[in-house]
Amino acid sequence: MESFSYQVRIPKERIAILIGKKGEMKNQLCEATKTKIEVDSVEGEVTVSGKDALMLYSTREIIKAIARGFNPDTALLLLKQDYAFEIINLPEFENPNQFVRIKGRIIGKDGKSRRLIEEYTEAYISVYGKTVSLIGRAETVNIARRAVEMLIKGSPHSNVYRWLEKMRRETKRREFEENIQDFIKKPEDKKEPDSE
């Protein structure tokens, strides 16, 4: 069977988190994904190899998530089929103060803004370096991404929170309707043909 491999570059300060105490995190990741992970601590280069291309892709995404500031437990959620990972690159500014201001808008006072986006969307957010990264179910990641983009463009926080509340209501209603449909269908599936 053919073997595949990927290379991922990660910030040097995140290498210890990827490896974990006495290599525990790296070993756990290798075991869970049936891949081989080699870390070049000097260059910050991680090589992932294995025979299952899909699992290799998931492993690469988990490593990228750890590199972007997520703790390994959150990054491992990406092994679930309906979970997605997205990186938003923050705009380039000539004035570094602008950069700090934008990150401050996303995080909010005492982390309020980030916390509310996470609560409304059930997605996780990491603001690290020049990026904002998201992990969550595919649908909720899209909503969280939109909220972050609104803040980057300067929308007032109150408008973003109102929009998030509306999106959460719509999502819950849709989930409720889908559950009702499933519930209605199930009894019919279980009916057995009349046997005479």
Q: Taking 60 as the threshold, does the pLDDT of residue 25 lie above it?
A: yes
Domain boundary pick from 24, 53, 76: 76
Domain boundary pick from 76, 107, 129: 76
Model confidence band, residue 30 (pLDDT cutoffs 50, 70, 90): very high
Helix (H) / strand (E) element for 123: namely none
Mean pLDDT over the full length of the chain = 89
Model confidence band, residue 177 (pLDDT cutoffs 50, 70, 90): confident
CA distances from 120 to 4, 43, 98, 132, 152 (A): 38, 39, 27, 17, 18
CATH of the domain at 36: 3.30.1370.10
Instruction: Give the predicted TM-score (pTM) of the model.
Output: 0.84
Sequence-ordered list of residues with C-beta below 8 angstroms from that of 36, at least 6 positions apart, any chain: 30, 48, 49, 50
**Position 178, amino acid:** E
The pLDDT tens digits of the residues spanning 35-64 come to 999 999 888 899 999 999 889 999 999 999
The pLDDT tens digits of the residues spanning 99-134 come to 889 999 999 999 999 999 999 999 999 999 889 999
Instruction: Domain count for the chain, please give it.
Output: 2
**What percent of the chain is modeled with pLDDT above 90?**
71
- My answer on whether 141 and 71 are in the same domain is no
